Amino acid sequence: MIVIMKPGAGEEQIAPIVEELNRQGMQVQMNEGVGCTVLGVLGDTIVLDREKLELREGVERVMPVQEPYKKANRKFHPDDTVVDVGGFAVGSEALAIIAGPCSVESFEQLSSVARSVKASGAFALRGGAYKPRTSPYAFQGLEKRGIDLLYRVRTEMKMPIVSEIIAPRQVETFELMVDVIQIGTRNMQNFDLLKEVGRTDKPILLKRGMSSTIEEWIMSAEYIMAQGNQNVILCERGIRTFETFTRNSLDLSSIPVVKRMSHLPVLVDPSHATGKAWLVPPMAAAAVAAGADGLLVEVHNDPPNALCDGSQSLTPEQFDSLMARLRALAPVVGRTVGQNRRQEEKVGA
């Protein structure tokens, strides 16, 4: 349940309520909003007397929360969550643009792409080191060497890096070397992995499962947040439907739906959603128009010879053109596009 305090309620009214709820075995999450303070109460709330709570000084009203997710619920946390990534505020007015190759192939490839996407306005570099593929014979990534290359480029370019983790045993390495830990679609319901990354303090980019409902997606975020890590960024990357023309079906309606249900920032990956490079720019623009907080875009310096997903990768020149298009669109929907200069002071420090 949630306890909504009256505007102006101070510590002298809030503290005794929190103390009493703790005494009754509840966990209390306090969220200070612009207009009032909201207390999120976790535990077996059936034992609580709602009427008595509403009579306490400073309490506006008490509301039960029917949804199974609590910490990710907008009722618990009315204000939008903003996640700091290397000095860039993901979930703020500025669109968070993350770009880079599907997989790390070499230092030369990675540094070339990083330099170009940063110049175009991307604030972070994405790159896969561990690649869970449908076929065991497909390129599986450079693994730990790929992480080393990402970290080297991160240091030289002063640019945050995003990479996918696939097993709990990798958490220690990712925590030390990666700025944002990505949970891919195949691992969205790998609950042991979600718990492990939930014990870190790293931002987590949680992709929607290819056959998952919106509620299942948010419940996976809840697994992470229940372990103490509140820095979760959701990513819509398309779902599996009967349509075969595109790689997946991009569910743009999930953006406003999730924002109604949860306070977490939402990014969109138009590359995996469509599987076709020519569809990425229009779907990226549509995602921004629908309210996405940013984009995850695949960019490769030589798509025809890419070791993974070349058909959905933009060239650096195409990405630069997309960024120009987004700069024209962003002000129409109350957004801005551009790097946060503060990040250069933090990344690589």
For 231-240, the pLDDT digits (tens) are 999 999 999 9
- Percent residues over pLDDT 90 in the chain: 83
Q: Nearest 5°: CA angle at 329, between 205 and 237? A: 30
Q: pTM (2 decimals)?
A: 0.90
What CATH number is given for 2-63 in this structure? 3.30.70.1140
Mean pLDDT, residues 298-322:
96
**Rounded average pLDDT over 308-320:** 96
How far is it, in rounded angstroms, from Cα 26 to Cα 29? 10
Angstrom distance (rounded) from CA 124 to CA 130: 18
Phi, psi of 120 (to 5 degrees): -80, -15
Name every residue whose Cβ is closer than 8 Å to that of residue 199 and which is 6 or more positions away in sequence. 227, 228, 229
Residue 36 pLDDT > 90 = no
CATH superfamily of the domain spanning 83-346: Aldolase class I (3.20.20.70)
Measure Cα distances from 95 to 48, 114, 322, 331 in Å. 42, 18, 13, 11
In the 8-state DSSP scheme, what is residue 315?
P
- Is the model's pLDDT at 343 over the cut of 90? no
Residue type, 146: G
User: What are the b/e assignments for 101-128, b being 16+ CB within 10 Å?
Assistant: bbbbbeeebbbbbbbbbbebbbbbbbbb
Q: At what angle do helices 316-329 and 107-120 cross, to 10 degrees?
A: 20
As a whole-number percent, the residues of the chain with pLDDT over 70 amount to 97
What are the C-alpha distances in Å from 85 to residues 28, 222, 262, 325, 337? 27, 20, 20, 24, 16
pLDDT in tens, 266-296: 999 999 999 999 999 999 999 999 999 999 9
Kind plus residue range of the DSSP H or E element containing 323:
helix 316-329
Alpha helices in 227-315 (DSSP H): 254-261, 270-274, 280-289
Rounded-to-5 percentages of helix, strand, coil across the chain: 40, 20, 40
CA dihedral 326, 332, 333, 334 (to 10 degrees): 100
pLDDT range class, residue 8, cuts 50, 70, 90: confident
The helix/strand/coil state of 223 is helix
Rg (CA), the chain: 21
What's the pLDDT at 339? 58
63 CB neighbour count, 10 Å cutoff: 13
Non-local CB neighbours of 152 within 8 Å, separated by 6+ positions? 107
Mean pLDDT over 195-223 rounds to: 98
Quickly list DSSP for 34-80: SS-EEEEEES-GGGS-HHHHHTSTTEEEEE---SS--TTBTTT--SP
By mean pLDDT, which of 80-94, 129-143, 158-172, 304-318 is the weakest? Answer: 129-143
Res 222: pLDDT: 97
The domain locations on the chain are 2-63, 83-346
**2-63 and 83-346: identical CATH topology:** no
